[in-house]
Amino acid sequence: MSQGVETVGLYVRDQEEALVFYVEKLGFRVHTDVKNGDYRWLTVQHPDQPSFQLGLYVPGPPTHDEATAKTLRAMVAKGAMPPLVLVVDDCRAAYDRMHARGVEFTQEPTERYGSIDASFRDPSGNGWKMVQSRKG
């Protein structure tokens, strides 16, 4: 039997805006983009990690009532959701490349804990920590 996590969901305020950010600025690619009425199942994946998908979902029906969706949107916009971690070979080079593409960083590359990391947020407010992989 094979088991594992295939998709992790991320709430975004606008799926088109998120799609542009994750594909054009971070270099992900679209895995699935299908609609069922007003509901859109949209996932992207990192090209070096084809077995894992990041779902880009808008809070709302059929999963949430409007009050819950409003609360979730506010929490995401404030950066209150747990950060995601992107592992890169060279944090400074990835920072330069992504910064040139318009990614807004909240922390430039910093050496700590035997590695280098930087922080950025997506257009919806979701926090990301970019960490240089440890060689060794």
| pLDDT, tens only, 79-119 | 898 899 999 999 999 999 999 999 999 999 999 989 999 99
Domains assigned to the chain:
7-132 (3.10.180.10)
- pLDDT confidence tier of residue 136, bands split at 50, 70 and 90: very low
3-state secondary structure of 14: coil
Average the pLDDT over 120-127 and give the result.
96
- pLDDT confidence tier of residue 133, bands split at 50, 70 and 90: confident
pLDDT of residue 66: 94
The predicted-structure confidence for 6-62, as pLDDT tens digits, reads as follows: 999 999 999 999 999 999 999 999 999 999 988 999 999 999 999 999 999 999 988
126 touches 81 (CB < 8 A): yes
Q: Is 60 exposed, middle or buried (0-12, 13-18, 19+ CB in 10 A)?
A: middle
